[in-house]
Structure 1
Amino acid sequence: MTIPTTRPYHLAAGEGPALWHLGALLTFKATSDNTNERLWVQEAYGARGYASPLHRHTREDEAFYVLDGRLAVCVGDDVITAETGSFVWAPRDLAHAFCVESDEARFLAFSTGGRMDHFFFATGEPAPSATLPPPPDGPPDVEALVRAMTEYGVEMVGPPPQPRG
Protein backbone atom coordinates (compact mmCIF):
# COMPACT_ATOMS: atom_id res chain seq x y z
CA MET A 1 0.00 0.00 0.00
CA THR A 2 1.45 3.37 -1.01
CA ILE A 3 0.72 6.32 1.27
CA PRO A 4 1.44 9.79 -0.15
CA THR A 5 3.95 11.65 2.01
CA THR A 6 1.52 14.54 2.38
CA ARG A 7 -0.72 12.38 4.58
CA PRO A 8 -0.05 11.08 8.09
CA TYR A 9 0.97 7.46 8.47
CA HIS A 10 0.58 5.39 11.64
CA LEU A 11 1.11 1.82 12.79
CA ALA A 12 0.26 0.69 16.29
CA ALA A 13 2.42 -1.60 18.43
CA GLY A 14 2.66 -5.04 16.90
CA GLU A 15 1.58 -3.85 13.44
CA GLY A 16 3.55 -3.91 10.21
CA PRO A 17 4.71 -6.60 7.80
CA ALA A 18 6.95 -9.10 9.57
CA LEU A 19 9.68 -11.27 8.08
CA TRP A 20 12.00 -13.98 9.26
CA HIS A 21 15.37 -13.00 7.87
CA LEU A 22 18.71 -14.68 8.56
CA GLY A 23 17.65 -15.79 12.03
CA ALA A 24 15.84 -12.65 13.14
CA LEU A 25 12.32 -11.28 13.23
CA LEU A 26 12.03 -8.02 11.29
CA THR A 27 8.86 -5.96 11.61
CA PHE A 28 8.64 -3.06 9.18
CA LYS A 29 7.12 0.04 10.72
CA ALA A 30 7.57 2.05 7.51
CA THR A 31 8.65 1.04 4.03
CA SER A 32 10.03 2.99 1.12
CA ASP A 33 6.74 2.28 -0.66
CA ASN A 34 4.65 4.09 1.94
CA THR A 35 7.03 7.02 2.46
CA ASN A 36 7.66 7.86 -1.20
CA GLU A 37 11.16 6.34 -0.85
CA ARG A 38 12.17 8.85 1.82
CA LEU A 39 12.55 6.43 4.74
CA TRP A 40 12.19 2.82 5.84
CA VAL A 41 12.19 1.57 9.43
CA GLN A 42 12.39 -1.96 10.75
CA GLU A 43 12.21 -3.23 14.31
CA ALA A 44 14.70 -6.09 14.48
CA TYR A 45 14.61 -8.80 17.15
CA GLY A 46 17.55 -11.21 17.22
CA ALA A 47 19.42 -13.55 19.51
CA ARG A 48 23.12 -13.39 20.41
CA GLY A 49 25.20 -13.66 17.26
CA TYR A 50 22.60 -12.24 14.87
CA ALA A 51 24.67 -10.00 12.61
CA SER A 52 24.86 -8.32 9.24
CA PRO A 53 27.83 -8.81 6.97
CA LEU A 54 30.22 -5.90 6.69
CA HIS A 55 28.68 -3.85 3.89
CA ARG A 56 28.61 -0.41 2.30
CA HIS A 57 25.53 1.46 1.00
CA THR A 58 25.87 3.71 -2.05
CA ARG A 59 22.34 5.14 -2.08
CA GLU A 60 21.35 5.76 1.51
CA ASP A 61 22.56 6.37 5.04
CA GLU A 62 21.63 3.90 7.78
CA ALA A 63 21.09 4.29 11.50
CA PHE A 64 20.42 2.06 14.51
CA TYR A 65 18.60 2.74 17.77
CA VAL A 66 18.84 0.05 20.46
CA LEU A 67 15.51 -0.55 22.21
CA ASP A 68 16.72 -3.40 24.43
CA GLY A 69 19.99 -5.31 24.68
CA ARG A 70 23.50 -4.69 23.38
CA LEU A 71 24.98 -4.52 19.89
CA ALA A 72 28.50 -4.15 18.62
CA VAL A 73 28.27 -1.80 15.65
CA CYS A 74 31.29 -1.53 13.37
CA VAL A 75 31.36 1.73 11.38
CA GLY A 76 34.52 2.40 9.40
CA ASP A 77 37.42 1.73 11.78
CA ASP A 78 35.28 2.16 14.92
CA VAL A 79 33.63 -0.61 16.95
CA ILE A 80 30.87 0.92 19.06
CA THR A 81 29.21 -0.81 22.00
CA ALA A 82 25.58 0.24 21.65
CA GLU A 83 23.38 -0.57 24.65
CA THR A 84 19.73 0.22 25.36
CA GLY A 85 19.03 3.82 24.35
CA SER A 86 22.08 4.11 22.07
CA PHE A 87 21.94 5.61 18.59
CA VAL A 88 24.51 4.91 15.84
CA TRP A 89 24.75 6.64 12.45
CA ALA A 90 26.38 4.85 9.50
CA PRO A 91 26.82 7.25 6.58
CA ARG A 92 26.57 5.96 3.00
CA ASP A 93 29.83 4.78 1.42
CA LEU A 94 31.26 3.82 4.84
CA ALA A 95 31.47 0.08 5.59
CA HIS A 96 29.45 -1.01 8.60
CA ALA A 97 27.97 -4.07 10.33
CA PHE A 98 26.29 -4.99 13.60
CA CYS A 99 26.22 -8.00 15.90
CA VAL A 100 23.91 -8.79 18.82
CA GLU A 101 26.11 -9.32 21.91
CA SER A 102 23.43 -9.71 24.60
CA ASP A 103 21.29 -12.87 24.87
CA GLU A 104 18.69 -11.06 22.74
CA ALA A 105 18.28 -7.54 21.41
CA ARG A 106 15.57 -5.39 19.88
CA PHE A 107 16.59 -2.41 17.82
CA LEU A 108 15.41 -0.10 15.09
CA ALA A 109 17.32 -0.07 11.82
CA PHE A 110 16.34 2.67 9.43
CA SER A 111 17.59 4.47 6.43
CA THR A 112 16.98 7.68 4.58
CA GLY A 113 16.15 7.36 0.93
CA GLY A 114 16.56 4.37 -1.31
CA ARG A 115 14.68 1.10 -1.47
CA MET A 116 17.01 -1.13 0.55
CA ASP A 117 14.00 -2.43 2.49
CA HIS A 118 13.02 -4.32 -0.68
CA PHE A 119 16.15 -6.46 -0.19
CA PHE A 120 14.71 -7.89 3.03
CA PHE A 121 11.39 -8.74 1.40
CA ALA A 122 13.23 -10.39 -1.53
CA THR A 123 15.48 -12.53 0.67
CA GLY A 124 13.35 -13.16 3.79
CA GLU A 125 10.11 -15.03 4.33
CA PRO A 126 6.82 -13.87 5.86
CA ALA A 127 6.89 -14.55 9.61
CA PRO A 128 3.99 -16.82 10.60
CA SER A 129 4.38 -15.61 14.20
CA ALA A 130 6.02 -12.71 16.03
CA THR A 131 8.82 -14.94 17.33
CA LEU A 132 12.37 -15.72 16.37
CA PRO A 133 12.51 -18.22 13.51
CA PRO A 134 13.62 -21.81 14.09
CA PRO A 135 17.34 -22.46 13.58
CA PRO A 136 18.28 -22.74 9.90
CA ASP A 137 18.99 -26.11 8.30
CA GLY A 138 22.28 -24.82 6.91
CA PRO A 139 24.23 -21.70 6.04
CA PRO A 140 22.60 -18.94 3.99
CA ASP A 141 23.14 -18.76 0.24
CA VAL A 142 25.78 -16.02 0.34
CA GLU A 143 25.99 -15.69 -3.45
CA ALA A 144 22.22 -15.06 -3.67
CA LEU A 145 22.46 -12.49 -0.84
CA VAL A 146 25.35 -10.69 -2.58
CA ARG A 147 23.39 -10.57 -5.86
CA ALA A 148 20.34 -9.18 -4.05
CA MET A 149 22.40 -6.60 -2.15
CA THR A 150 24.03 -5.43 -5.38
CA GLU A 151 20.61 -4.84 -6.92
CA TYR A 152 19.94 -2.27 -4.17
CA GLY A 153 23.31 -0.49 -4.36
CA VAL A 154 24.92 -2.32 -1.44
CA GLU A 155 28.36 -3.89 -1.58
CA MET A 156 29.29 -6.73 0.78
CA VAL A 157 32.89 -6.13 1.88
CA GLY A 158 33.39 -8.69 4.64
CA PRO A 159 31.89 -11.36 6.86
CA PRO A 160 29.57 -10.63 9.77
CA PRO A 161 31.25 -9.76 13.07
CA GLN A 162 31.12 -12.27 15.92
CA PRO A 163 30.02 -11.44 19.49
CA ARG A 164 32.90 -10.24 21.65
CA GLY A 165 33.58 -11.74 25.04
Structure 2
Amino acid sequence: MTFSLAEPDPHDPHWNTRGALYIPSGKGPTVWAAGDVYTIKATGAQTNGGLGFIEATVPAGGGPIPHAHPEQEETFYILDGELEFLDGDHIFTAVAGDFVHIPRGVRHRFTNKGNHAAKMIFIFTPPGLEQIIADHALPARPGDAPPSVIDDDQLERFHTMTRLAKSITLPEPS
Protein backbone atom coordinates (compact mmCIF):
# COMPACT_ATOMS: atom_id res chain seq x y z
CA MET A 1 0.00 0.00 0.00
CA THR A 2 1.34 3.40 -0.95
CA PHE A 3 0.57 6.50 1.00
CA SER A 4 1.19 9.79 -0.72
CA LEU A 5 0.55 13.37 0.26
CA ALA A 6 -0.24 16.08 -2.20
CA GLU A 7 2.50 18.68 -2.09
CA PRO A 8 1.09 22.20 -1.82
CA ASP A 9 2.24 24.81 -4.25
CA PRO A 10 5.20 26.57 -2.54
CA HIS A 11 3.83 29.87 -3.89
CA ASP A 12 0.53 29.33 -2.02
CA PRO A 13 0.50 31.66 1.03
CA HIS A 14 -0.52 28.73 3.27
CA TRP A 15 2.75 26.94 2.46
CA ASN A 16 4.70 29.20 4.84
CA THR A 17 1.89 30.23 7.20
CA ARG A 18 2.69 29.49 10.81
CA GLY A 19 0.02 28.37 13.23
CA ALA A 20 1.42 25.83 15.68
CA LEU A 21 0.71 26.24 19.38
CA TYR A 22 3.95 25.45 21.20
CA ILE A 23 4.06 25.25 25.00
CA PRO A 24 7.50 24.13 26.24
CA SER A 25 7.93 21.55 28.98
CA GLY A 26 7.37 23.08 32.40
CA LYS A 27 5.39 26.01 30.98
CA GLY A 28 1.72 26.91 31.22
CA PRO A 29 -0.40 28.16 34.12
CA THR A 30 -0.03 25.72 37.03
CA VAL A 31 -2.72 25.43 39.70
CA TRP A 32 -3.79 23.26 42.59
CA ALA A 33 -7.18 21.63 42.13
CA ALA A 34 -8.78 18.56 43.71
CA GLY A 35 -5.59 17.86 45.65
CA ASP A 36 -3.61 17.68 42.40
CA VAL A 37 -1.20 19.87 40.41
CA TYR A 38 -2.60 20.83 36.99
CA THR A 39 -0.64 22.62 34.27
CA ILE A 40 -2.95 23.98 31.61
CA LYS A 41 -1.12 23.36 28.35
CA ALA A 42 -3.85 24.48 25.94
CA THR A 43 -7.23 26.15 26.27
CA GLY A 44 -10.15 26.26 23.89
CA ALA A 45 -9.23 29.84 23.04
CA GLN A 46 -5.74 28.70 22.03
CA THR A 47 -7.02 25.75 19.93
CA ASN A 48 -9.83 27.58 18.10
CA GLY A 49 -12.40 25.71 20.19
CA GLY A 50 -10.85 22.32 19.48
CA LEU A 51 -9.94 21.04 22.94
CA GLY A 52 -8.63 21.80 26.41
CA PHE A 53 -5.44 19.99 27.44
CA ILE A 54 -4.08 19.59 31.00
CA GLU A 55 -0.97 17.88 32.32
CA ALA A 56 -1.65 16.54 35.81
CA THR A 57 0.44 15.30 38.70
CA VAL A 58 -1.74 13.39 41.13
CA PRO A 59 -0.04 12.85 44.51
CA ALA A 60 -0.76 9.83 46.69
CA GLY A 61 -4.37 10.21 47.83
CA GLY A 62 -5.09 12.91 45.22
CA GLY A 63 -7.91 13.13 42.73
CA PRO A 64 -11.35 14.75 42.45
CA ILE A 65 -14.61 13.59 43.99
CA PRO A 66 -17.07 11.71 41.75
CA HIS A 67 -18.61 14.03 39.17
CA ALA A 68 -20.00 14.12 35.63
CA HIS A 69 -19.70 16.50 32.68
CA PRO A 70 -23.06 16.66 30.87
CA GLU A 71 -21.58 18.78 28.06
CA GLN A 72 -17.96 17.57 27.78
CA GLU A 73 -16.15 14.36 27.07
CA GLU A 74 -12.99 13.80 29.10
CA THR A 75 -10.08 11.69 27.90
CA PHE A 76 -7.12 10.57 30.00
CA TYR A 77 -3.72 9.11 29.12
CA ILE A 78 -1.63 7.80 32.01
CA LEU A 79 2.05 8.73 31.68
CA ASP A 80 3.43 7.35 34.96
CA GLY A 81 2.07 5.53 38.00
CA GLU A 82 -1.42 4.17 38.40
CA LEU A 83 -4.81 5.65 39.13
CA GLU A 84 -8.04 4.05 40.28
CA PHE A 85 -10.95 5.19 38.10
CA LEU A 86 -14.65 5.16 38.84
CA ASP A 87 -16.77 4.68 35.71
CA GLY A 88 -20.44 4.90 36.71
CA ASP A 89 -20.61 2.06 39.24
CA HIS A 90 -17.45 0.22 38.06
CA ILE A 91 -13.94 0.68 39.48
CA PHE A 92 -10.74 -0.19 37.58
CA THR A 93 -7.04 0.67 37.77
CA ALA A 94 -5.31 2.41 34.87
CA VAL A 95 -1.50 2.29 34.60
CA ALA A 96 1.17 4.01 32.50
CA GLY A 97 0.28 3.71 28.81
CA ASP A 98 -3.45 3.24 29.44
CA PHE A 99 -6.08 5.37 27.71
CA VAL A 100 -9.46 6.19 29.31
CA HIS A 101 -12.30 8.04 27.58
CA ILE A 102 -15.32 9.21 29.58
CA PRO A 103 -18.42 10.09 27.51
CA ARG A 104 -20.64 13.04 28.41
CA GLY A 105 -22.80 12.56 31.46
CA VAL A 106 -20.95 9.54 32.89
CA ARG A 107 -20.09 9.79 36.59
CA HIS A 108 -16.36 9.34 37.12
CA ARG A 109 -13.37 10.16 39.26
CA PHE A 110 -9.74 9.13 39.57
CA THR A 111 -7.79 8.54 42.76
CA ASN A 112 -4.13 7.81 43.33
CA LYS A 113 -4.17 4.84 45.71
CA GLY A 114 -0.39 4.39 45.38
CA ASN A 115 2.52 5.73 47.42
CA HIS A 116 4.01 7.88 44.65
CA ALA A 117 2.66 10.63 42.42
CA ALA A 118 1.04 9.61 39.14
CA LYS A 119 1.26 11.70 35.96
CA MET A 120 -1.28 11.94 33.18
CA ILE A 121 -2.72 14.19 30.56
CA PHE A 122 -6.39 14.87 30.15
CA ILE A 123 -8.35 16.48 27.40
CA PHE A 124 -11.77 18.17 27.44
CA THR A 125 -13.86 18.16 24.26
CA PRO A 126 -15.42 20.57 23.71
CA PRO A 127 -13.12 22.77 25.76
CA GLY A 128 -14.04 25.19 28.51
CA LEU A 129 -13.53 23.45 31.83
CA GLU A 130 -9.75 23.84 31.55
CA GLN A 131 -10.21 27.63 31.46
CA ILE A 132 -12.48 27.58 34.51
CA ILE A 133 -9.85 25.51 36.34
CA ALA A 134 -7.12 27.93 35.25
CA ASP A 135 -9.16 30.95 36.36
CA HIS A 136 -10.51 29.71 39.70
CA ALA A 137 -8.20 27.08 41.17
CA LEU A 138 -5.45 28.03 43.60
CA PRO A 139 -2.19 29.10 41.91
CA ALA A 140 0.45 26.46 42.68
CA ARG A 141 3.40 27.52 44.82
CA PRO A 142 6.68 25.90 43.70
CA GLY A 143 8.11 23.61 46.36
CA ASP A 144 4.81 23.30 48.28
CA ALA A 145 2.44 20.36 48.15
CA PRO A 146 -1.15 21.00 47.06
CA PRO A 147 -3.70 21.17 49.88
CA SER A 148 -5.76 18.06 50.46
CA VAL A 149 -9.01 17.73 48.51
CA ILE A 150 -10.67 17.39 51.92
CA ASP A 151 -9.69 20.97 52.73
CA ASP A 152 -12.92 23.04 53.04
CA ASP A 153 -11.51 25.90 50.95
CA GLN A 154 -10.63 23.51 48.10
CA LEU A 155 -14.08 21.90 48.20
CA GLU A 156 -15.74 25.33 48.14
CA ARG A 157 -13.54 26.39 45.18
CA PHE A 158 -14.43 23.14 43.38
CA HIS A 159 -18.15 23.80 43.92
CA THR A 160 -17.70 27.43 42.79
CA MET A 161 -15.99 26.19 39.61
CA THR A 162 -18.89 23.77 39.15
CA ARG A 163 -21.48 26.52 39.44
CA LEU A 164 -19.52 28.67 36.98
CA ALA A 165 -19.15 25.82 34.52
CA LYS A 166 -22.80 24.74 34.79
CA SER A 167 -21.54 21.67 33.01
CA ILE A 168 -20.34 19.49 35.88
CA THR A 169 -22.72 17.48 37.99
CA LEU A 170 -21.62 17.02 41.61
CA PRO A 171 -23.41 15.99 44.78
CA GLU A 172 -24.31 19.07 46.86
CA PRO A 173 -21.95 19.83 49.76
CA SER A 174 -23.11 18.48 53.11
TM-score range, shorter chain: 0.7 to 0.9
- Aligned-residue sequence identity (percent) comes to 28
List per-residue Cα deviations over 1:24-50 (Å, max 9, x = no partner): 211111112211222111111121111
Please state if 1:120 is matched with 2:137. no
Q: Does 1:156 align with 2:156?
A: no
Q: Could you tell which deviates more after superposition, 7-16 or 84-93?
A: 7-16
Aligned length: 154
Q: Quote the Cα distance in structure 1 between the aligned partners of 2:80 and 2:155.
A: 29
C-alpha change, 1:73 and 1:158, in structure 2 (3 Å) is farther
Pick from 75, 79, 91: which aligns with 1:67?
79
Please tell me whether residue 110 in structure 1 is matched to residue 110 in structure 2.
Answer: no
What TM-score comes out, normalization by structure 1 length?
A: 0.81
The one of 93, 98, 111 equivalent to 1:86 is 98
User: What amino acid is aligned across from residue 50 of structure 1 in structure 2?
Assistant: G
**Structure 1 segments unaligned to the other structure (5+ residues):** 1-5, 160-165
Q: Give me the CA root mean square deviation.
A: 2.5
- Rounded Cα–Cα distance in structure 1 between residues aligned with 2:159 and 2:148: 22
1:18 aligned to 2:30? yes
Per the normalisation by structure 2, the TM-score is 0.77
In structure 2, distance between residues paired with 1:150 and 1:134: 21
- Going by fraction, where is strand more abundant, 1 or 2? 1
Equivalent position amino acid for 1:26 in 2: Y
The offset of 1:134, in angstroms, is 5.7
